[in-house]
A and B are shown apart, each in its own frame.
Chain A
Amino acid sequence: MTADIASPAAESSTAVRTTLYEASTQYRHWRYSLEQLAHTRAALNTAAVSAIQEAFESDEPGSSSSVSFLNADEEHLLVKLYVGKISQLCGHFRFPEEVEATAVTYLKRFYLKNTVMDWHPKNVMLTALFLATKTTNHPISLEAYTSHIPKTAPSDVLDLEFLVAQSLGFDFAVWHAHRSLWGLWLDVQSLPDAPLDDLRASYDTALKYVRASRLTDAELVYTPSQIALACLSLASPSLASTWVRSKFPDPEITDPPVLGVIEPIKTLILADGSPPEVEAVREVDRRLKLCKNPEKVVGSKAYLKKREEEERKADEKRRRKADVIKRAMEDGDPFGSELAGRTALDDDDDDDED
């Protein structure tokens, strides 16, 4: 007798069992190779520059020629600066590590779909952090949040919330390296001859490396547990390799492959895991003021033009809808015929009752 009898609806036996992590949106939607990352950012930057050039031209012909747009690396540098700012803010609010790590991930993912020339990371960072407090179940009222941040109104945060959630593809759940490290730490304590004195110090050092890894692209390339192991290895190479070998007791396997995987992560963290040079970023930010998308600058000609266009479309939609209802009234059915009702509904996704 097998469980299948008690489980008339058991998944078919041919179904491949995926691990929890492999079923996650993080695994399915947010993993890249380093090359893919570079390509994605370059393509995004190119598209943004040409769109903004166009906007400049429609604002004032000939005005885009003198503008020096940011390149992908410069955009990335600016984002990195604001990743660092998230940590500062979280320290100020005493948010748990999970909130901080989640906000950092959101900010990075946002800029794999958007450009800093459209949306300045300062604002996006504030929204990403606010959203992270909610998605990690540590909500704080918007008023309490903005009143502790200078020169920030509730609308600054809220206006972008939808855009941020949308850019994340509504994938709110994030798996973090600091959680993996915590698991490793619990695990290494049960190693047969764990040097208990050094353990705590190794963990603390490893955690510092995990925090440094947030400034890098590691989480977009590697799994949380790989990053955690790399950080442990940076803190104590012997502890990390003892742990790995305990997982591969087979003497045939002299060199568990994971030890090879973590080497490039270690290199990445050591190379990129520190905040960017402030002077360099300041220069980027100064140029950003001149090359940001005029369509997103409230009050500019391009902005007004875009708004006008949107309003014209909405107006047209409303008029069409009113026409349909009017025609139905003339037909003698005040509620509209089914056909008319459906046309109106298909046409307008937001029905009147909101």
Chain B
Amino acid sequence: MDAVEKANAERQRRWAKDQKIGEGTYAVVYRGREVATGRKVAIKKIKVGQFKDGLDMSAIREVKYLRELKHQNVIELLDVFSSKMNLNLVLEFLDTDLELVIKDRSLVFLPADIKSWMAMTFRGLEFCHRNFILHRDLKPNNLLIAADGQLKLADFGLARDFADPGYKMTCQVITRWYRPAELLFGSRYYSTAVDIWSVGCIFAELMLRTPYLPGESDMDQLKTIFRALGTPTEEEWPGHTKLPDYVPVGQFPKTPLRDLFTAASADCLNLLSKCLIYEPRRRISAKEALNHPYFFALPYPTHPSKLPKPAPKRSSLLPLEELDGNAEPNSSGPGVKANPPNKLKRKHSEDGMNERSKSIARRLDFSQ
């Protein structure tokens, strides 16, 4: 066996796949564990053989950038190995995502909670931008949440380095509801500001508990944006009518953010409005946002471990070991329920304290 194959086989043996937790066009995701420690991981198996141009671009992007990025607020790529013609990405296991949190009607968000999620989002994004990487697909469902409450940017399948000035980039990026007007107008030269717009939409969604700008088509998206924030004027956004796909979509008046976000503080609305400035060059940067008075004013951000989290689901869909006495943090010991006779004894990792919340399989979207 070649040295390269041998090294790969060794890496492969470090990880075990346990159970399928999601499936998309490009990949299947398994819950798995590190064999030596029992640490829980997610293994994303990307099918390679089926593409006529070989390794697929979104897999390449994801691997390329996650290999380089190590930050508390960016999902960690622990390992990469191949099995036959599949590429396996070993990622840290994360319990849930911000979309599920927002949708869980039983949860109440305090202003301090929202501040905490925003701080973590900006911190992860600032790190990407500092590394000259655009994410280009920020949305609540790509902001994953760890057992300890840490929020992590995930899904780098559309990410890229900033282009040099004068280099064209595609404007077909970012999920529609989170896409800024400059991309909808077909701008091929853009920068970090596109990600900031998405964060602004997420910020608003955290307060509203429903998507802020849910357009039904690309054209309707512009209308939805303008209806909410007013049609931009030439003064506000010089030159936007010259963008390649510019179309007038009607005149809408500006309504103050205050009318919709009635409970928000002045600082909060100020930061939100700076994320949603039409002129990309005037939009706030991630670094400036982190220094915005909002983050320094009372109430201080909630500690990540105290953030609201969806309750664990205890349905029959769970695999048996989840219902085993070992998984109950407060149980008096194993044997509360008899172990099924054929069940393998499983090692539980140190994060066993969070077993209660571990069982939410995150929804995966590989359609991009």
Contacts and interface: CB of A to CB of B under 8 A. Distances in A.
Interface string B86-97: 110000000000
B4 A354 contact: no
B304 A9 contact: yes
B4 A47 contact: no
A16 B2 CA distance: 38
Contact of A158 (B54, B123, B319, B343): B54
Contacts, number: 125
A172 interface: yes
A7 B123 contact: yes
Contacts of A338: 319-320, 340, 342-344
Interface string A135-177: 1010101100000000000100110011101110111110000
B297 to A, nearest CB: 9
Contacts of B131: 20
A350 interface: yes
B65 A354 contact: no
Contacts of B65: 173
Contact of B67 (A172, A339, A342): A172
B298 to A, nearest CB: 10
Contacts of B291: 3
B85 interface: yes
A342 B57 CA distance: 32
Contact of A20 (B47, B130, B290): B130
Contacts of B8: 166
B235 interface: no
Given A5-B300, A163-B4, A134 B55 contact: yes
A137 B160 contact: yes
Interface in B1-34: 2-5, 8, 12, 16-18, 20, 28
A351 B340 CA distance: 25
Contact of B119 (A6, A114, A137, A354): A6
Interface stretch (B68-76, B194-202, B209-217, B351-359): B68-76
A339 B344 contact: yes
A166 B85 CA distance: 11
A350 B68 CA distance: 27
Interface string B290-308: 1100011000111110000
Interface residues of B, number: 59
A125 interface: no
Contacts of A118: 2
Interface string B103-130: 0000000000000100110010000001
Interface in A120-143: 130-131, 134-135, 137, 139, 141-142
Contact of A142 (B53, B87, B301): B53
Nearest to A96: B167
Contacts of A25: 67-68
Interface string B206-238: 000000000000000000000000000000000
B4 A23 contact: no
A5 B130 CA distance: 22
A8 B303 contact: yes
Contacts of B67: 25, 170-173
A346 interface: yes
Interface in B110-154: 116, 119-120, 123, 130-131, 150
Contacts of A165: 55, 82, 87
A189 B156 CA distance: 36
A167 B4 contact: yes
Interface string A1-22: 1010111110100000000100
Most buried by B among A154, A157, A350: A350
Given A163-B4, A345-B17, A9 B150 contact: yes
Contacts of A47: 3
Contacts of B337: none
B245 interface: no
Nearest to B343: A338
**What is the interface residue range for chain A against chain B?**
35 or more
A163 to B, nearest CB: 7
A72 B80 CA distance: 29
A134 B57 contact: yes
B231 to A, nearest CB: 34
B251 interface: no
B60 interface: yes
A141 B53 contact: yes
A20 to B, nearest CB: 6
B350 interface: no
Nearest to B17: A345
Nearest to A136: B161
Interface string B254-268: 000000000000000
Nearest to B133: A173
Given A113-B3, A173-B67, A135 B119 contact: no
A44 B3 CA distance: 9
Contact of A350 (B64, B83, B130): B83
Contacts of B242: none
Contacts of A131: 54-55
B120 A137 contact: no
Contacts of B82: 162, 165-166
Closest 9 A-B residue pairs measured CB to CB? Answer: A6-B295, A172-B64, A339-B342, A349-B83, A170-B80, A161-B54, A142-B53, A337-B342, A167-B4
Given A6-B295, A342-B18, 13 more contacts: A1-B296, A6-B119, A8-B301, A8-B304, A9-B304, A134-B55, A161-B55, A166-B4, A166-B82, A345-B18, A346-B16, A349-B12, A350-B83
Interface of B: 2-5, 8, 12, 16-18, 20, 28, 47-48, 52-55, 57, 60-61, 63-65, 67-68, 70, 72-73, 80, 82-87, 116, 119-120, 123, 130-131, 150, 160-161, 290-291, 295-296, 300-304, 319-320, 340, 342-344
5 contacts: A6-B119, A162-B82, A170-B63, A339-B342, A339-B344
